[in-house]
Structure 1
Amino acid sequence: MTTYQVNGIELCAETFGDPADPAMLLIHGAGASMIWWDAELCTALAARGRFMIRYDQRDTGRSTSFPLGAPGYAMSDLAADALGLLDALGIERAHVVAQSMSGGTALILGVDHPSRVASLTFVSTSTGDEGLPPPSMPHLAEPDYDDPAAVEEYVVRAIEAEAAGHFDEAAARALVRQDMARARNYRASLTNHYAMTFDAPPYSSLARPVPVMPVLVMHGDADPLLPLPHGEAVRDAIPGSRFVVLRGMGHGLSAPYWKTFVDEVC
């Protein structure tokens, strides 16, 4: 893992594979650091001829943390961070894969910087349109952030609620403990992305008879956070996009679906 100076902040990133291969940039969802993209998955993608990049977005992991509840940045700043990281790595163009809320970040890259994007993949994301079905997950009470055990339990139970039956408690707990240990401010990681300014363009901005780059939309049909119609709305907003339904998958890209994911994005 290496820390890069980007846009006046520090971003921690890790790469896998041969830098001569086509680059693929992984952007995880709100509050999730790079390690939510499992190293085994990144290695499998690299074995398919991709130079893999995962990174801690601002306010996650070892990257710069901002004032709690008042981060002062926008989603467009997250997109600028992604471009700045590519610049720091000497990469002109990358396949961009975005999970959940970071679909908005990927959309900015595709609309405003199409020359830097070889393809776009949206995983478990949404257009955010009114009328889409609400989450069906149970409500989890916010933890006492001064109690690490309570925070750990809160995040583990959130993973369980999103998993739709594909829940490995030992793996989830290990992930959360590692994530907490790496974070500069874990409370900011869990909250600040929801407090930023959302200035992404509408998904219809990519709607053209032929997309400017290949677009893949992947969504689990058992997603309790963003039910399947959210993924269908992204598909419908981008004519020409390819839509893959992952049968039985919840919100997170769980291990039983890694092979399918690798096959589809490579």
Structure 2
Amino acid sequence: MVVHSYGRTMTTYAVNDIELDAETYGDPADPAVLLIHGAGASMLWWDARLCTELAARGRFVIRYDQRDTGRSTSFPTGEPGYAMSDLATDAAGLLDALGIDRAHVVAQSMSGGTALILGVDHPSRVASLTFVSTSTGDDGLPPPSADMPRLGWPDFADQAAVEEYVVRSIEAEAAGDFDETEARALVRDDMARARNYEASLTNHFAMTFDGPKNGGFGDLSMPVLVLHGDADPLLPLPHGESVRDAVPGARLVILPGMGHGLSAPYWNTFVDELVEHTAHAGGR
């Protein structure tokens, strides 16, 4: 089923023997930007207002539910049976379904690993890469801030407890830049549309964490932008610096005061930097 509204198109695609729910914004003739959010996060975590603004700046924006999030195919809780490389293959398959040869790929947090696999093993599909609040995972990088609260795992039979757990998790990662009303609305919408919200919160952490078959960060050949908050309590700034240092020619933009999530006060900077980064690298 396809629904058109305000320049947006929402469709469910058959990709790699699963279903992926995706939403596009803007003119399909514009350079394509594929947004991949972090572990357990559906497409809703890329705010529709942010996508609309990016489309208004001449980009064809794609946000989607990765497997085990939102309305996409869900696997048994705690037994996903897939690897991170499968998430990368899903992304390439979604581009195929959309008729897109190459896209500018933007990856948040854990999905930096998915973008790395795309860039190294599927380089012809990637016009540029942007890593947001992610890491190389190298030994010696600092652990999460000791100030982050330790949240107990919720009782998934208690929907109110699950909602509270995710809201408080957003707050813990926000480094003080936290809007509870916005966060709670996001979580409620996410829970309401998920096929299996318990699987959403657990399965990306239970998958097999493989990596690229053909190299690593140093083998990325496309333009690379790194965006990282200097107040990120989950992956402190040296994690973003490690990505910059690992990729020849990569550019790091430090966002003062930003925590782990890309919160609203930083959307304008994000859009400006992404538009500039993707201006000369093709994509379509």
1:203, 1:234 within 8 Å by CA — same for their partners in 2? no
Q: Give the fraction of aligned pairs with identical amino acids, expressed as a percent.
A: 82
Give the 3-state SS of the residue equivalent to 1:14 in structure 2.
strand
Alignment of 1:98-113 (within 5 A): 98-113=107-122
Partner of 2:278: none
Counterpart residue identity of residue 45, structure 2 = W
Please state if 1:218 is matched with 2:227: yes
Counterpart residue identity of residue 263, structure 2 = S
- 1:201 deviates by 3.2
Of 49, 61, 78, which aligns to 2:70? 61
Counterpart residue identity of residue 165, structure 2 = Y
Give the 3-state SS of the residue equivalent to 1:207 in structure 2.
helix
Distance across 1 between alignment mates of 2:101 and 2:141: 36
Alignment of 1:39-54 (within 5 A): 39-54=48-63
Alignment of 1:31-42 (within 5 A): 31-42=40-51
- 1:203 deviates by 11
Counterpart residue identity of residue 63, structure 2 = R
2:120, 2:215 within 8 Å by CA — same for their partners in 1? no
- 1:207 deviates by 1.7
| Structure 2 residue ranges without an equivalent (≥5) | 1-9, 276-284
Counterpart residue identity of residue 133, structure 1 = P
Q: CA RMSD in A?
A: 1.2
Counterpart residue identity of residue 102, structure 1 = S
- 1:206 deviates by 3.4
The two structures have a TM-score, normalised by structure 1, of: 0.97
Report which stretch shifted further, 221-230 or 211-220: 211-220
Please state if 1:18 is matched with 2:49: no
Give the 3-state SS of the residue equivalent to 2:216 in structure 1.
helix
Q: 1:202 to 1:241 in 2, by over 3 A?
A: farther
Partner of 1:152: 163
Of 155, 175, 179, which aligns to 1:164? 175
The two structures have a TM-score, normalised by structure 2, of: 0.91
Distance across 1 between alignment mates of 2:159 and 2:63: 26
Counterpart residue identity of residue 159, structure 1 = I
Please state if 1:174 is matched with 2:181: no
Distance across 1 between alignment mates of 2:213 and 2:169: 28
1:204, 1:238 within 8 Å by CA — same for their partners in 2? no
Give the 3-state SS of the residue equivalent to 1:96 in structure 2.
strand
1:203, 1:238 within 8 Å by CA — same for their partners in 2? no
2:32, 2:104 within 8 Å by CA — same for their partners in 1? yes
Give the 3-state SS of the residue equivalent to 2:210 in structure 1.
coil
Please state if 1:143 is matched with 2:154: yes
2:85, 2:212 within 8 Å by CA — same for their partners in 1? no
- 1:204 deviates by 6.8
| Structure 1 residue ranges without an equivalent (≥5) | none
Please state if 1:9 is matched with 2:18: yes
1:28, 1:98 within 8 Å by CA — same for their partners in 2? yes
What are the superposed Cα offsets for residues 40-61 of structure 1, whole Å, 9 maximum, x if unpaired?
A: 0000110111000000000000
- 1:252 deviates by 0.1
Please state if 1:90 is matched with 2:90: no
2:34, 2:104 within 8 Å by CA — same for their partners in 1? yes
Q: 1:228 to 1:203 in 2, by over 3 A?
A: farther
Distance across 2 between alignment mates of 1:224 and 1:206: 23
Please state if 1:74 is matched with 2:64: no
Q: 1:204 to 1:232 in 2, by over 3 A?
A: farther
Counterpart residue identity of residue 113, structure 1 = H
